[in-house]
A and B are shown apart, each in its own frame.
Chain A
Amino acid sequence: MKQAELVIIGGGPAGLCAAVSAASSGAKVLILERNNALGGQLVKQTHMFFGSEKQYASTRGIDIPNILLNELDKYKENVEIMTDCTIVGMFEDGVITVIHKEDKYFKVKPEAVVVATGAFEKSLVFPNNDLPGIYGAGAVQTLMNVHGVKPGDRVLMVGAGNIGLIVSYQLMQAGVKVVGILDAAPQIGGYLVHASKVRRMGVPILTSHTVKEAIGTDCIEKAIVCEVDNKFQPIPGTEQEFDVDVLCISVGLTPLNELLAMRGCEMKFVPQLSGSVPVRNENYETTVENVFAAGDITGVEEASAAMVEGYLAGLCAAAKLGHKSDDFEEKKADYIKQLDSLRAGPVGEKILSGIEQILVK
């Protein structure tokens, strides 16, 4: 069995920042990431990010992993990184089980762990939703921005949250026609600057609309769309047809929480945080001692918040293992202030009301 001081599960923005702050405090850190590259969702975000300077605002998402990896490199004597490692279990005795490259299986027993596995996409139920050409927005973005493959020629986007709006814009940048963006909600969920950006390209946004059915033989050829009433029920007679070869589903994410549940952390379903999330204290430690969580797994939010949560969890985990840096209090107060400021406006209201339900003082 491999020994480790602090294991970080997931090398997305939250995991990388947790590693930076723990390693800089003096803890020996092992990052385990299932993909072959680090960065999590950032590797496909070609647009500039929001936030403030401290969260690398106005930097493109794809460029942030390198900034964080350079930072991590300063403490390289304290850091080990293993990619192609999927954590498949977290047990009561603290043992973590890992599959490496689909054939090697090994165990690690760390003194503490930060779980930063992020979130996964929700899907939508409608007839023929399994036809080829119907993708999640993550898949479309990965094909296009990671592998340089056009997913199709005519796309209908389902979901007018930030992800649906941003992926629509990126599809147009790749030369793909976006015929429209639907959302069942009566209002656009994403930032209106993103909505305006696609609107002035001539893409219609249809709120209070949903997909009724997909039609096609070997792959999708048409999408039937209809209006919904204020109880999200289809209004008969409002059907419209769109000729498309791609239907892109972007109806939100939900925390990837199985490992924490398996470990016995107390979980709570909180709609404002988009799913079942761990009960935690202000240090991002769960109800199981020395098991920390950070990023989208604690509530689906933004990379900006995920990074700061990562810094905070890594700092506190290291401190618990006896690596309390001299400027611990200062740093902790700064991270808390940054999170408060990201969540201070109308966008943060929902998140704050969710956090209230899982925070133990």
Chain B
Amino acid sequence: MFEKTGVPSKEMVREIFPSIDRINKGPVAVIECYKEIPCNPCQTACKYDAIHVGEDINHRPEVNRDNCIGCAICLSKCPGLAIMIVDGSKSEETVQIRIPFEFYPLPKEGDTVKALDREGNVLTDVKVVKVLNPKSFDRTPLVTFEIDREYLYDVRNIRLEVQP
């Protein structure tokens, strides 16, 4: 089905997700690169030796979750915008999710935006915690928002109310 719709199944998502224990320890990268393509900038970008693609650049990236500190450098380097950071260390009720977001207008810290799933359906309202857009991210800003834990495996995007 994934090849027909572009929407990964729940099982595929669960398989690449870190454990709740790991998420509760602090920020960690989640890479949704489900199919082999010739690409390895995530590995090149990582300063912590936490992403491994290997000699054959067609291999899927593997995250070493002990090495990963959730620094998010890989998020703005991935041409597929396939990486997000999940952090469950801040609260027992919510998780913080950081995603690449290449649309104007950018949200501001404190804004309420719609959280969307992998099909673009609205899940709930969420609060934007941080927006980063330094020159080194090369026009791929990162947005962090806080969301109820029940949406952990579903949320993958946000939408501002001002939409075309």
A residues touching B (Cβ–Cβ < 8 Å)? 47-53, 57-60, 172-173, 175-177, 186-188, 191-203, 205, 207, 304, 341-348
Contacts and interface: CB of A to CB of B under 8 A. Distances in A.
B138 interface: yes
Interface stretch (B38-46, B87-95, B128-136, B143-151): B38-46
A331 to B, nearest CB: 20
B38 A193 contact: no
Given A60-B138, A173-B103, A193-B37, A341 B6 contact: no
Given A196-B118, A197-B80, A341-B57, A50 B37 contact: yes
Q: How large is the interface on B (under 10, 10 to 19, 20 to 34, 35 or more residues)?
A: 35 or more
| Chain B contact residues: helix, strand, loop or mixed | loop
Given A51-B38, A187-B4, A199-B118, A344 B82 contact: no
Question: B6, B80, B82, B156: which has the most chain A beta carbons within 10 Å?
Answer: B6
Nearest to A203: B120
A92 B25 CA distance: 71
B36 A346 contact: yes
A50 B157 CA distance: 22
B57 A52 contact: yes
Nearest to A59: B138
A344 B56 contact: yes
B164 A176 contact: yes
Given A196-B118, A341-B56, A58 B38 contact: no
A202 B37 contact: no
Contacts of B117: 200
Question: B32, B79, B156: which has the most chain A beta carbons within 10 Å?
Answer: B79
B32 A188 contact: no
Contacts of B82: 193, 196
List the 7 shortest-distance A-B pairs measured between CB atoms, nearest first. Answer: A202-B120, A345-B58, A193-B80, A195-B6, A58-B41, A48-B79, A199-B6
Contacts, number: 137
A50 B39 contact: yes
Interface in B1-45: 2-8, 32-41, 44-45
Contacts of A60: 138-139
Contact of B3 (A57, A173, A192, A194): A192
A52 B42 CA distance: 10
A199 B5 contact: yes
Contacts of A48: 41, 77-79, 138, 140
B119 interface: yes
Interface in B49-101: 56-59, 77-82
B142 interface: no
B41 A57 contact: yes
A50 B37 CA distance: 8
9 contacts: A52-B38, A53-B41, A188-B4, A191-B80, A193-B82, A196-B80, A200-B120, A200-B157, A201-B116
Contacts of A51: 38-39, 57
A173 B102 CA distance: 7
A347 B118 contact: no
A200 B77 CA distance: 19
A205 B5 contact: yes
A192 B58 CA distance: 14
B124 interface: no
Contact of B120 (A57, A175, A199, A207): A199
